[in-house]
Amino acid sequence: MQRFAPRFVLLLLYTFQCCLLLVAQNPAHAPAESGAAKAAADQIWAKLAAGNKRFASGKTLPHSYVSQRHAVAKGQQPKVAVLSCSDSRVPPEILFDQGLGDLFVVRSAGNSADPLGIGSLEYAVEHLGSVVIVVLGHQNCGAVKAACSGEKMPSSNLDAVVQPILSSCAAGGKPGNDLDFEVRDHVHRSAESLLANSEILKHAKDEGKLSIIEAYYELSTGRVIRLR
């Protein structure tokens, strides 16, 4: 009986591996974004896009900030978090015509996904219930332009701003040759960095509880364009 035990164990292992393979090949069990999660994200984006359309056309809603302030004084439940550039011309709440408590916004020069930004977004997803993160870059970004200029930064702090952007400078060929492409590429790399450097965000994404949207704001037109 003992001499057959190894064969029996091997048979069990083979059967188990086959079962795992079948589950992996079945889309119903895959950790990819579910249809329901995608539909919810699309619905949220449609609301943001409608707000941006109002902003771009100069027909924003009248916001009652007093009543909104009272409504969110004891807590917040923003469904959308935004990682955007700290450029004074790119305030997400205004671009999307949203009110108090609607967006959880993390801003830094160049909209890079550094540890402070990632931790803030983890808080939004884990504790506030945010289900969509918008990574928002913009036309003529000064941080990307500085990074791709090849010039030495005058301080270690400014160098820390441009370092995460440098990989995007070479993506389009000669650094600084196509700023628009470099900005969009950095948006994508920042979105990827969120998942690569955060188990919390990756788990939420794999569970179908989080969607990440990449977007680009045109300073000249006021439009926010969804990239991915």
Task: State phi, psi for 71 to the nearest 5 degrees.
Answer: -65, -30
Average pLDDT over every residue of 70-79:
95
Question: pLDDT of 10-59, one tens digit each?
Answer: 444 444 444 444 433 343 443 455 677 788 899 999 999 999 999 999 99
Q: Higher model confidence: residue 215 or residue 15?
A: 215
Q: Which of 35-49, 83-97, 106-120 has the lowest mean pLDDT?
A: 35-49
Identify which of 12, 65, 47, 94 has the alpha carbon closest to the alpha carbon of residue 213: 47
Q: pTM of the full predicted structure?
A: 0.82
Edge-to-edge, what's the strand order for the sheet holding 132-138? 103-107, 80-84, 132-138, 211-217, 224-226
- Domains of the chain, start order: 34-226 (3.40.1050.10)
Question: pLDDT of 152-172, one tens digit each?
Answer: 999 999 999 999 999 999 886
